[in-house]
Amino acid sequence: MIFPAQPQNPEQKQLKSSMQISDILSADRVTCNINIASKKAALETLSGLLAGASSNLTQAEVFHSLLARERLGDTGLGNGIALPHGRLKDRNFTVAAFIRLAKGIDYDALDQQPVDLMFALLVPENSTDEHLQILAKLAEMFSKPELLAQLREENSNDTIYDLLTS
């Protein structure tokens, strides 16, 4: 399922605040125990998952969007977590993907620790409010040590999806 961008008007704020992770993330865009050795390869993998959400997306355009945002500043939050995100022109939906790496990679995170949990987000170019609300929700979610431990222990894509969307 992809989540349509919400119109930018005050009447829609309640709809945006009720957005759930399950509105933008589907089980087929969750993968665990991937053997990846670099940030670039991780972003390419996430780009492929995100592009698979719509026949109107290509892996190359998604990758370039994520990379453009990384050039502005790394999206590694610390504690092994990264939230790469990007914007695309002429798109009216928000979509997400999640990967757990078999081994952490150098990501230039704030705490300089390797990253092994990556939640990628792609939003329409003009959905600033929605984008910030989703990032805030994700930052809060990934600040919970018990959730991080579960995400790192589970070996089932479906179970990880359930943890992310519950």
Asked, for residue 13, whether it belongs to a domain, the answer is no
Q: What is the DSSP string of 88-146?
A: ETT--EEEEEEEEEEEEE----TT-PPEEEEEEEEEETT-HHHHHHHHHHHHHHTT-HH
CATH number at residue 113: 3.40.930.10
What's the average model confidence in pLDDT over 104-121? 93
Range of the domain at 91: 26-165
Beta-carbon contacts of residue 150 (< 8 Å; ≥ 6 apart): 163
Across 72-81, 95-104, 111-120, 156-165, least confident range = 72-81
Instruction: Decide if 95 is inside a domain.
Output: yes
> In this predicted structure, what is the pLDDT of residue 40?
95
The one catalytic residue in 85, 87, 91, 131 is 85
Asked, for residue 9, whether it belongs to a domain, the answer is: no
| The predicted structure's pLDDT at residue 6 | 39
How confident is the model over 60-83, as pLDDT tens digits? 999 999 999 888 888 888 999 999
Mean pLDDT across the chain, nearest whole number?
A: 85
pLDDT of residue 18: 63
pLDDT score for 62: 94
Say if 139 falls within a structural domain. Answer: yes
Does 143 score more than 60 pLDDT?
A: yes
Residue 11 lies in a domain: no
Count of domains forming the chain: 1
Tell me, yes or no, if 64 is annotated catalytic.
no
